[in-house]
Every structure is written in structure tokens, then in C-alpha cells.
Structure 1
């Protein structure tokens, strides 16, 4: 069973990191929509926004995803915890999937290698923030702390 820290003291820092990732994605999406407006949705042109290649479809998805991440970071419940874990996995899977089709016609989101790297880094950051921003009652936090600091039995003894 996984033991996520409950009410971690650095939780505000992790929420801020998730919010910064969400803000970057939102701004990237807005800039990308402005630059690619009027182009075909899945165009494979050479439009770049904030150092990443994009098209209208990828920009629109980024706007939505950025808003969702900012909503998750602003909540003081476990919604942000689950959203960050899920978003981290989505970014990692998307980055790996798009890396496999970079030089093919299946690159419908117009990714470049820099976009893949940023996607993987954001995935790792969101996974890390998701691991440490779980909220719970003080009793759960105390039980988790007691579990982490329990005595470890000597090898070969029960």
C-alpha cells in the first residue's frame, strides 16, 4: 500500500509549483491560439510559442489543461492531489507517445523534441507535487508520521 505524506509541511510550495506549471501551460496555449488562429486545426506548420512548436489543436488543449491545473492547485482539498497525479501520468504518456511519432505524419499535435522534453519534465514535476500535497485530518497525518518513524526490526528477527 502506498504511503503518501498527509498534510506535508511543504504542501504550499508543491501547490505553487503545480500552479506555475499550470500557468505556463495556460499562457503557452493562449499565445499559441493567437499565433495559429485561422490555420487548420492539426496543421504541421512552423508555429512556435514560448519556445515550443504548436498548432491550433495543441494550443486549445493547452488552454483547457492549464485552466484545469490552476483550478486543482487553488483547491485546499485532495482534488489537487489526484489531479496532479493524473496530470503527471498524462504528461509522461503523451511525451513518450509523441516522441515515438516525431518524424511521421502521426505527429498531429506538431510536437518537437523540445516539446517532448518539456512534457516529460512537467510530468515529473506534477507527479512529485501530487505525491506530497495530500490533505487529511490531523489523526491521519499523525498515524502516517508514526508509521514512518516506527522501529525497524533487526534482520533475521520477527
Structure 2
């Protein structure tokens, strides 16, 4: 069984980071819906929003994922941990799959190489935040605090 660090001291920073990614994706999605409204759902036009090429389907999916990530970042329990892990894996898998069909008619989300790169970066960041934002019991938090501040490992004067 894998070991996920519990009650990591930088957990609030990781939650803010995943929240910022969620906010970017949500803004991208909403702006993309406004720009591509009236176009075919899986259109292959040259609509660019915030440096990424998009179509209506990708914009709608971005609105859903952005809201999903913001909900995960706002939760204090382990829900955010699981949501970030899931979103990270989904972003990585989607970016690899879309890169493999980039120059074909199967590019139904209208990805460009910049979209693939950003999706991979977001996927790796979300996977990393998901690995370190797991919350444990208060007893476990106290045990970890005592372990970190144990005098055996402290330097002698």
C-alpha cells in the first residue's frame, strides 16, 4: 500500500495552488464558451483563449473541471486530496491521448501543442498536490509534530 504523507505542513500552499489552477481553468472555460458560442460543439476552428486553442466542447469541459477543482481546494478534509489525484491523472491521460491525435480528425477537443503542454503541467502539479494534501486525525498530527521536534535529532550546543 502506498504511503501518503498526512498533515503535511505545506498543505495550505498546495490547496491554494490547486485552487489557482482551478480558477484559471474555470476562467478559460467561461471565456471559451463566450468565444465559441454558436459554433459546432466539436468544431475545429482557430479560437484561442488565454493562449490555448479551444472549441465549445473543450470550453464546457473546462468549466466543469475548473469548478470541480475549486470545490476540492475549498474542502478541508480528504475530499480535496482525492479530487486532486483524480484530476491530475485525468489531465495527464487526456493530454497524452490528445497529443497522439493532434494532427488527425480525431482531435475532437481542438487541442494544440500548447494545450497539451499546459495540460501536462497542470496534471503534474495537481498530482503533486494530491500526494501531499491528505489530512489525518488530530492524534496523528500530534504524533507527527512530536516526531519532527524530537530532541534526539537536534544538534548539540
Same fold (TM over 0.5): yes
Structure 1 residue 21 corresponds to structure 2 residue 21:
yes
Query: Partner of 1:39: helix, strand, or coil?
Result: coil
Q: Which runs of 4+ in 1 moved over 4 A?
A: 142-148
Deviation at 1:136, TM superposition (A): 1.2
What TM-score results when the alignment is normalised by the length of structure 1?
0.89
TM-score, normalised to structure 2, is 0.90
Tell me the secondary structure at the aligned position of residue 53 of structure 1: strand
What RMSD, in angstroms, separates the aligned Cα atoms of the two structures?
1.6
Aligned equivalent of 1:154: none
Q: Offset at 1:145?
A: 7.4
Q: Which runs of 5+ in 1 are unaligned?
A: 149-158
Give distance in 1, aligned partners of 2:147 and 2:82: 22
Q: Tell whether 2:97 aligns with 1:76.
A: no
Contact 1:3–1:144 at 8 Å: present in 2 too? Answer: no
Partners of 1:48 and 1:106 in 2: CA distance: 19
Paired residues, what number? 148
Per the alignment, residue 95 of structure 2 pairs with 95
Q: Any gaps of 5 or more consecutive residues in structure 2?
A: 149-157
Alignment of 1:1-158 (within 5 A): 1-141=1-141
Displacement of 1:141 in angstroms is 3.7
Q: 1:21 to 1:125 in 2, by over 3 A?
A: same
C-alpha displacement of 1:2: 1.4
Q: Give how far 1:142 is off.
A: 5.3
Judging changes above 3 Å, is the alpha-carbon distance between structure 1 residues 134 and 46 closer, same or farther for their aligned structure 2 residues? same
